Homo-oligomer: A and B are copies of this chain.
Amino acid sequence: MALQPIARKSLSDDVYEQLTTEIVEGRFEAGATLPSERELAEALQVNRGAIREAVRRLGQAGLVDSRHGSGHHVLDYRRAAGLDFLPRLLFRADGDVDLDTVRGVLEMRSALGPDVARAAASRRDDAQLAELHRLCAAHAAAAEDLGEQQLLAIAFWDVLVDASGNIAYRLAYNSLRQVYETVREAVAQVLADEIVDNARMRQIAAAVRDADATTAAEVARALCERGRRGLETALSLFDDA
**A interface with B by C-beta (< 8 Å):** 8, 12, 49, 52-53, 56-57, 60-62, 68, 78-86, 89, 100-101, 103-105, 107-108, 110-112, 114-115, 119, 166-172, 174-176, 178
Contacts and interface: CB of A to CB of B under 8 A. Distances in A.
A167 B112 contact: no
A167 B68 CA distance: 31
A85 B178 CA distance: 15
A2 to B, nearest CB: 21
A8 B70 CA distance: 14
Copies of this chain: 2
Given A52-B53, A57-B60, A112-B112, A171 B85 contact: yes
A23 to B, nearest CB: 15
Contact of A100 (B61, B100, B167): B167
Contact of A168 (B108, B166, B167): B108
Nearest to A8: B68
Nearest to A119: B107
Chain B CB within 10 A, most for which of A61, A86, A171: A171
Contact of A167 (B104, B114, B170, B171): B104
B174 A105 contact: no
A167 B105 CA distance: 8
B108 A166 contact: yes
A167 B86 contact: yes
A74 B179 CA distance: 22
A211 B184 CA distance: 34
Cβ-closest 3 pairs across A and B: A82-B84, A111-B115, A104-B168
A57 to B, nearest CB: 5
A114 B217 CA distance: 15
Most interface-central of A83, A103, A104 (chain B CB within 10 A): A83
A82 B52 contact: no
B112 A108 contact: yes
A172 B114 CA distance: 17
Given A53-B52, A53-B56, A108-B166, A171 B82 contact: yes
